[in-house]
Amino acid sequence: MKRIGLKSSCVVGFDGAQHVLWRDGEVVFEGSRIVFVGRDYAGPVDQWIDYGSALIGPGFIDLDALGDLDSTVLTLDNGDERDMGRMWSEDALAAGPRESYTEAEEVFKYRYAFTQLIRNGITTAMPITSMYYREWAETYAEFAAVAGVAAELGLRTYLGPCYMSGMSYWRADGTLAHHWDEARGLAGLEAACGFFKDFDGAHGDLIRGALLPDRIQTCTPALLQRTAALSRELNAPMRLHCCQGLGEVAMVEQLRGASPLGWLQQLDLLTPRSLLPHGIYTAGDEDLQRVVDGGASLVHCPVVFARDGEALNSFGRYRAKGINFALGTDTWPADLLENMRQGLNIARLMEGGTSLTSTLDLYNAATLGGAKALGRDDLGRLAPGAKADITVFNLRGLHLGPLFDPLKNLVLAGRGDDCIASYIDGRCVMQDGQVQGVDYPALQRQAQRQFEKLMRSHSDRAFGQPDWKTLFKPAIPFADDYSAHAPLSAIDPLL
């Protein structure tokens, strides 16, 4: 194994308790493990790479990582979501939901998304995709292929097919209803269990398994009880979206007689293996104490909720109670720097000041907090013995302004694509901003074609199956009849 040394003007090391900043620092790794972080390494090195004015740091950990061609962006300033066919309608349910993509297209969306994650400095991901445009949930065969894509690109992933017992849909009178299929949910869980047993530790341990039920309101007691038992038996991470909407909270309270977090406590699903996006709507301090007592982690995704005028109240208050935070992207763009920046600003607005939440708190959530949520002391830090998951962020960009503190400059003004190099498990997966083996223009062309197919599928789910082009409103009104024109891929030769 070659011993590789990296140099830059700034290196984020770890002293056993916290991140520390080395000026004119060095990181040396051999194979998949770091052997030195600091300055003036005296041992033999096969190759030195000097990145100059840059910040070398640990790779980001994204535990609600966008694994999709994001359909959430279509709802932005688009009126009532009931009218646009994002969720199932009563008509669509009666006709029988169907897949919007082919099997190959389902796998492609992960290739596109994983490339974006690497491009933005994310080295460990637990992906999330939408079930709205699916016939039901994800499959074993699909994720066997997804594991292959992750291994090919070199992305460290926690994978498993999503499973669920039901799905919400809109009635014609505008009210929300729920369709249940208990047997299908339990069959999905058994497939997820099989995937875990077959793929946990695959591809040189780059792939780990996880249990990923869809959302708390789409799962029955039997499904979650079996999930809890399997999480204990397999020592498997379990992620479950909860406390993310008032409708969800009301439904759980009505059906289960408890708050979402109270119900999860009853089911023994608040454990150190539990990862819970998003934790926004809770029943006060009693609920938060349940999370602390169980040792569960919250996955904070500030950007996707801020778009709808919602926010955690608040990051600093939850942290002060002892809750461990990880970060997630959840939506486009797959940029954790953007989530750190908005997360910092939103927290300070909610807290009415600067004393409870710092820049470092958000950075820690994207690194050490994510590692703690996964039960990994070898990720989220640069230290001897840790995995060689390393990112290099360019500090020369004019948009960053004059440098005082590289982390503050990046969080205040940086972008994910300031990441110019990435090493995962000691393998260089991106250099000079180019993810190895990926043709960016071809990838973007396929994504554009596939996204337009996704947009067309909204017609199938909307009442009356209107022309799909009438379902989406541009920010600026078109001067002529948009519905009479070809999609972007037909008019822009670059697409």
DSSP characters for 157-226?
A: EEE---B-SEEEEE-TTS-EEEEE-HHHHHHHHHHHHHHHHHHTTHHHHTEEE-B-B-BGGG--HHHHHH
φ/ψ of 198, rounded to 5, equals: -85, -30
Q: Write out the DSSP string of 21-32.
A: EEEEEEEEEETT
Which DSSP helix (H) or strand (E) runs through 141?
Answer: helix 140-153
Query: Does a cis peptide bond (omega within 30 degrees of 0) precede residue 458?
Result: no
Per-residue pLDDT tens over the stretch 58-87: 999 999 999 999 988 899 998 887 888 989
Q: Are 380 and 61 in contact (CB under 8 A)?
A: yes
Residue from 266, 262, 271 nearest 297 by CA: 271
Count of other CB atoms within 10 angstroms of residue 210: 24
Structure tokens at 466: 């209107």
Amino acid at 379: L
Which residues are within 8 A (CB) of 60 and not within 5 positions of it... i.e. 6 or more apart? 120, 121, 122, 123, 124, 327, 336, 366, 367, 370, 391
Q: Report how far residue 139's alpha carbon sits from residue 195's, in angstroms, rounded to the nearest whole number.
A: 9
Q: Are 42 and 88 in contact (CB under 8 A)?
A: no
pLDDT of residue 493: 44
Q: Report how far residue 126's alpha carbon sits from residue 75's, in angstroms, rounded to the nearest whole number.
A: 24
Query: Does a cis peptide bond (omega within 30 degrees of 0) precede residue 333?
Result: yes
Chain centroid to CA 353: 28
pLDDT of residue 80: 81
Q: Are 302 and 311 in contact (CB under 8 A)?
A: yes
pLDDT of residue 478: 83
59-381: in CATH 3.20.20.140 = yes
Q: Write out the DSSP string of 74-124.
A: GGTT-S-GGGTTSSEEHHHHHH----SS-HHHHHHHHHHHHHHHHHTTEEE
pLDDT of residue 491: 45
Q: Report how far residue 57's alpha carbon sits from residue 390's, in angstroms, rounded to the nearest whole number.
A: 6
Q: Are 329 and 314 in contact (CB under 8 A)?
A: no
Residue from 472, 481, 478 nearest 84 by CA: 472
3-state secondary structure of 41: coil
Task: Indicate the pTM of the whole model.
Answer: 0.96
Q: Report how far residue 163's alpha carbon sits from residue 158's, in angstroms, rounded to the nearest whole number.
A: 15
Kindly report the CA angle at 137 between 139 and 158, in degrees rounded to 5?
60
Task: Give, for all 495 residues of the chain, the pLDDT tens digit.
Answer: 899 999 999 999 999 999 999 999 999 999 999 999 999 999 999 999 999 999 999 999 999 999 999 988 899 998 887 888 989 999 999 999 999 999 999 999 999 999 999 999 999 999 999 999 999 999 999 999 999 999 999 999 999 999 999 999 999 998 989 999 999 999 999 999 999 999 999 999 999 999 999 999 999 999 999 999 999 999 999 999 999 999 999 999 999 999 999 999 999 999 999 999 999 999 999 999 999 999 999 999 999 999 999 999 999 999 999 999 999 999 999 999 999 999 999 999 999 999 999 999 999 999 999 999 999 999 999 999 999 999 999 999 999 999 989 999 999 999 999 999 999 999 999 999 999 999 999 999 999 999 999 999 999 999 999 999 889 888 888 888 766 555 655 445 444
**Domain locations in the chain?**
59-381
In which order are the strands placed within the sheet that holds 166-170? 88-89, 166-170, 176-180
User: Cα dist. 43→9, 29, 452 in Å?
Assistant: 20, 11, 54
Q: Burial letters for 362-383: b for 16+ Cβ neighbours within 10 Å, e otherwise?
A: bbbbbbbbbbbbbebebbbbbb
Q: Report how far residue 479's alpha carbon sits from residue 477's, in angstroms, rounded to the nearest whole number.
A: 6
Structure tokens at 215: 């959302």
